[in-house]
Structure 1
């Protein structure tokens, strides 16, 4: 009669459970695929988007793709919230991207006010020994510098709309964290080819950073020859800023001036990869899978706004008050789209992203496989002993 070592079987089963649990936990904590908060921005009542959509805030889809293209995931950050909302969210995500755009920093309950909360909270998180990166693109960089300068305004007017130029690196650029991993070939490419797309009316000069805690890695000149700072990083905190738009090289196609050469794409991808690699150092997690699932950008769909004349190919449009996506005002009834096939909707088969609404198949399959293998091992071991 076959003797089964039940003690060994139980031990192997528990080990299987622990292994599967650890695998799920590894994914959830953001180390593998960090979760980045992207700040929304207000929509003005007389704007193009307001005339076509019932929306109060937006996120350009290119910023979401910028994060996802480097292996990250996105949570939208609402404007117009109390500080407690931002405190709670930032302690569950792995970094923040402050996007570019066109708005005033002094709007009540707008981008500037929300960004100020976020930057102060990010400073506190880093001060308390938790690595938390913040990336600012164009307007986001300008907000980072303003808030870190105690809201003392040092920007000046410049003319760099639709300007495609290389980077003029400072001699000490290689002392920075941002460019420490860049090859000599990439630096040569960035400094020789027109790989950065600029579209801004405000700039910082090098004088803006005198006696500050920022490192300047590159400078440029606008269309009138006025010098401005184009890449910076903070010396104490993992805060980074670029005055140009790397996401446009990769994902925006509304202007022939945006560079899409191999060099421009390669350069832009470097910045995305760097930021996400910084976010992988953060260990924040959501309290549970349901909260994480409810917060993700996947709950919303972008609108194709370039077709109505927008400067963005796609935008996520929200009703900030209700934190819901908005729909275009239809001129005629829209056809009903079929429900998606759940079997084809999972990004990683057998790899549990979030488990909700009874969708435990992906999480339980590795456990069942491990148990069956353990049982086979015990049976074989028993037969060996009997022989």
Structure 2
């Protein structure tokens, strides 16, 4: 909240508004000795009250700082620490040559257009929700779309251009889509077995399909009432989070994950911990990290991580939460005293809240998506872990081939009005290599441009 300057101080004489207005009109260049003492005093206060208040504010600030020091130690920047051994001029360390600082993630498209045919009803159409793309980009990686129904040789050529793969949410559990996920996953495991670090994230439907593939049982899933709800994550007893997706979470945020509804659930299927542990293939491949509870108080597995591979699967949606609410907009408007004075405070805050909610997250189509700052931090940590794993990839493909296949070669489609959940999607309706701009291939501009 902005600090308010005191309009009067104990040592400032009380003066009517009209007198103050008259005081400011007094000429500052007048040096006439005939000026009366009654006009000299107001002139003096005109010059002195601002420095006085500034001095008073400084003293109050120092007093508060001294009080805070007694309760907690001060945090100082490095150049103010008393360490004679520290170098006077810091030097930036060289980048680790073993890491890939230009990682690319492949995201597999899903059948349909993301809006039940309202945007594109072509039988060969597939889509990627833009929230998955932004999820990856927010952590410092780029995206190549892996179009599920394109020729298998093209799909595998693209797989050789990426440093990790993300399987998205959706509904398709059979047919060509299932077969494509299975073929890609088998290839990824082979790459890891050959010593090439290659991470996988599987979200919602991706979690379900991997469960079916690894368990070798297409009927292993159970029904749960987890549609459009926020929930907690309950960590398994004695779990060691070191090396897992939760490794860099602050302790207080880890605690709030189990007490506050910070994650988004939107599924009808899942697997209970009991059935999970009973399947030898699943229990030997994955370790359960967290469970959650649906609206009927049924417990299901919500996060798993492979024991010997960089594979993590989520039965919740980390990609839909990103970006902190625009609190700065509220602060700025509250500083506008005239506006606050004219509009009732409750109505003002409600209007600002609605405005900020419209501006900041990746998906707003479902009512129960959490958008608190804690929820945003959860998603950012999840994205960061995935991309940090992708940086370990030794794959260094041709930059020209990467540029020619990036998601930037496609234009997203807004579907908020036509769809039921996604706000924006990339739609792929042609089984051929994408057209790309001269900018993307020849590198004579930054980023990408729309055709």
The 5 Å alignment of 1:164-179 reads 164-175=230-241, 177-179=244-246
User: How far, CA to CA, are the matches of 2:144 and 2:420 in structure 1?
Assistant: 23
Match of 2:428 among 307, 313, 318: 318
Closer/same/farther in 2, CA of residues 34 and 358 from structure 1, 3 Å limit: closer
1:1-387 alignment runs, 5 A limit:
31-43=100-112, 48-55=115-122, 56-103=125-172, 105-107=173-175, 109-110=176-177, 112-175=178-241, 177-210=244-277, 211=280, 212=283, 213-250=285-322, 251-286=362-397, 288-322=398-432, 356-357=441-442, 359=444
Is contact 2:207–2:313 with CA below 8 Å preserved after alignment? yes
The 3-state SS of whatever aligns with 2:209 is: helix
Any idea what the Cα deviations from partners look like across 1:314-373, whole Å, max 9, x if unmatched? 000111434559xxxxxxxxxxxxxx9x9xx8xxxxxxxx7x4373999xxxxxxxxxxx
User: How far apart are residue 78 of structure 1 and its match?
Assistant: 0.9
Against the structure 1 CA distance between its residues 84 and 157, is the aligned structure 2 distance closer, same or farther, given a 3 Å change threshold? same
- Is contact 1:57-1:320 (8 Å) kept? no
Judged with a 3 Å threshold, the aligned counterparts in structure 2 of structure 1 residues 303 and 30 are, in CA distance, closer, same or farther, namely farther
Q: Kindly indicate whether the alpha-carbon contact (under 8 Å) linking 1:91 and 1:285 is maintained by their aligned counterparts in 2.
A: no
CA distance in 1, matches of 2:128, 2:446: 33
Residues 86 and 117 in structure 1, CA contact (< 8 A), matched pair in contact too: no
Change (3 A) 1:173 1:252: farther
Q: Is the 8 A contact 2:236 2:291 kept in 1?
A: yes
Deviation at 1:173, TM superposition (A): 2.9
How far does residue 238 in structure 1 lie from its aligned partner after superposition? 0.8
Kindly provide the CA deviation profile for residues 236-280 of structure 1, in whole angstroms up to 9, marking residues without a partner as x. Answer: 111101101011112111123110001111111111111111111
Take 2:221 and 2:166, find their aligned partners in 1: how far apart are those partners?
21
Query: What is the CA–CA distance in structure 2 between the aligned matches of 1:234 and 1:130, rounded to whole Å?
Result: 16
Deviation at 1:300, TM superposition (A): 0.6
Q: Give the Cα–Cα distance (whole angstroms) in 2 for the partners of residues 199 and 299 of structure 1.
A: 30
Report which of the two structures shows the higher radius of gyration computed on alpha carbons.
2
Give the alignment's TM-score, normalised by structure 2. Answer: 0.63
Using the alignment, how far apart are the partners of 2:275 and 2:212 within structure 1? 10
By relative contact order (CA 8 Å, sep 6+), the higher-ranking structure is 1
Unaligned runs of 5+ in 2: 1-93, 323-361
Q: What are the superposed Cα offsets for residues 165-195 of structure 1, whole Å, 9 maximum, x if unpaired? A: 1111112332452222222112112112111
Kept after mapping to 1: 8 A contact 2:273/2:301: yes
Distance 1:187 1:82, change over 3 A: same
RMSD across aligned positions (CA): 2.7
TM (norm. structure 1) is: 0.73
**Residue 200 of structure 1 aligns to a residue in which SS?**
strand
For the structure 1 residues 357 and 92, does the alpha-carbon distance in structure 2 shift closer, same or farther, using more than 3 Å as the test?
Answer: closer
> Structure 1 residue 230: deviation in Å?
0.4
Aligned counterparts of 2:304 and 2:443: Cα–Cα separation in 1: 46
1: CA distance between counterparts of 2:419 and 2:445? 44
Extract unaligned runs of 5+ from structure 1: 1-21, 326-339, 346-353, 363-387
Structure 1 residues 311 and 209: alpha-carbon distance in aligned structure 2, compared to 1, 3 A threshold: same
